[in-house]
Amino acid sequence: MYHLKCIECGAEYSKDEVIYTCSKCDGLLDVIYDYSSIKIDMEKLKTECPSVWKYAKLLPIEREPVTIREGGTPLYKCDRLAEKIGIKKLYVKHEGMNPTGSFKDRGMTVGVTKALELGMSTVACASTGNTSAALAIYGAKAGIPVIVLLPAGKVALGKVAQALMHGAKVLSIRGNFDDALALVRTLCSQEKIYLLNSINPYRLEGQKTIGFEIADQLGFKVPDRIVLPVGNAGNITAIWKGFREFKKLGITDSLPKMTGIQAAGSCPIVKAIKSEAPEITPEEKPETVATAIRIGNPVNAKKALAAIRESGGTAESVTDEEILAAQKDLARLEGIGVEPASAASVAGLKKLIDMGVISRDETVVCITTGHLLKDPQTVIDVCEEPIVVDASIEAIREAIFGKMK
């Protein structure tokens, strides 16, 4: 039992309509449930392994899902990283361990399933990379055509390769992500093509399961704070909703502070939070090494600002240098390999602790959104080159022990 509702004017829409924003005011839509009709089996909830579809009763799907076993990603306790940053208890939820290597799988298993449920036969998105990869793969699994628009020269090759290999029609446009999103929205409004960017409220329903899983993996306890990268701003919105739903249903008894981290060259939400502005001012030319969050006009900005403010959280920006340093720390202290955008969460946590905004006594979960192999070129560019030696034990010993002295 659910329907769609505009977060601006309150207009309501049937679950059977193909609609992405309010037809009256163009406001963002949310999926509204009749929670009184949802019965949760706590014994099953406590014993079943985490996965997206473990929480099917809180997802807006009424048919067999299109799934490749997404979710159930590890929640690592990171003591060495915590010690370096200077915080008592730190966990990392590594969404790069999803089947396609990013958190986008959660939204796409729900979104592509909803497309089929609504009778749509083609799906499309604009992307900085991970969305296109996930949509191409879930579209292939569902047996339907996929169209993706990418900003030319601005997408990591690992992500482009995924979209190409899985048969998507990939269009590389001369423009940035925001241009691509405007174009794909127009395309989907004019053709019978289902839009699966995060402006689609059903996609965010899949992503809220990150919040469910964190609580689940902590024994149905809620951390003091969630810190995560923010690009198009759907994830922070979705995860906040997940935590609120668990509390509403009596599964947990508290809520975390939602803390969004953006790159310094692409931080409209951070600027709005710091200036206490009611809405963002879009950035026309966003730039950062963290390609996954190189977005100047996030479509879910209003939802994200609300999530941060309602939860008592905050937002901060970090430089590319801080992001790359955090990427190395995650890898070399905890063995967690992530793409640059993912490391923004850890970089932001460190900065906010140093600023005194986050207490060192807090229990914090940082979310890393994509796998290291999504963007191998950046790794090659910033890491030391392999040492070339002669094929002799003497040369190897000299290279190893000489360097170590």
- The model's pLDDT over 315-335, given as tens digits with 9 standing for 90+, comes to 999 999 999 999 999 999 999
Would you tell me how many other CB atoms lie within 10 Å of the CB of residue 399? 14
Confidence of residue 374 (pLDDT cuts 50, 70, 90): very high
- pTM for this structure? 0.95
Q: How far apart are CA 110 and CA 63, in angstroms?
A: 11
Q: Is 143 annotated as a binding residue?
A: no
Question: 135-170 burial string, b = 16+ CB within 10 Å, else e?
Answer: bbbbbbbbebebbbbbbeebbbebbbebbeebebeb
Q: Which helix (H) or strand (E) holds 33?
A: strand 29-33
pLDDT at residue 350 greater than cutoff 60: yes
Q: Is 297 annotated as a binding residue?
A: no
Higher pLDDT, 320 or 403: 320
pLDDT at residue 404 greater than cutoff 60: no
Query: Mind listing the pLDDT tens digit for each residue in 185-228?
Result: 999 999 999 999 999 999 999 999 999 999 999 999 999 999 99
Q: How far apart are CA 116 and CA 184, in angstroms?
A: 19
Confidence (pLDDT) at 1: 87
Residue 334 backbone class (left: φ over 0; alpha: ψ -120 to 50; beta: rest): alpha
In whole numbers, what is the pLDDT of the chain averaged over residues?
Answer: 96
Confidence (pLDDT) at 155: 87
Tell me the three state secondary structure of residue 67. Answer: coil
CA distances from residue 168 to 67, 108, 174 in whole angstroms, order as listed: 18, 14, 19
Q: Is 300 annotated as a binding residue?
A: no
Please report, as a single letter, which amino acid is at residue 210.
Answer: I
Domains of the chain: 1-37 (no CATH), 75-101+201-382 (3.40.50.1100)
Tokens linked to 83: 């010690």
Radius of gyration of the chain (CA): 21
Average pLDDT over residues 165-175: 96
Total length of the chain = 405
β 89-94/75-77 pair status: antiparallel
Q: Is 369 annotated as a binding residue?
A: yes
In eight-state DSSP terms, residue 96 is G
Is residue 314 within 8 Å of 269, Cβ to Cβ? no
Query: Mind listing the pLDDT tens digit for each residue in 48-97?
Result: 999 999 999 999 999 999 999 999 999 999 999 999 999 999 999 999 99
Tokens linked to 400: 């190893």
Is residue 345 within 8 Å of 96, Cβ to Cβ? no
pLDDT at residue 405 greater than cutoff 80: no
Q: Is 176 annotated as a binding residue?
A: no
- Residue 136's Cβ-side half-sphere holds a number of Cα atoms within 13 Å equal to 26
Confidence of residue 157 (pLDDT cuts 50, 70, 90): confident
Q: Is 296 annotated as a binding residue?
A: no
Tell me the three state secondary structure of residue 127. Answer: coil
Average pLDDT over residues 282-300: 94
Report the side by side order of strands in the sheet with 123-126: 169-173, 146-151, 123-126, 194-195
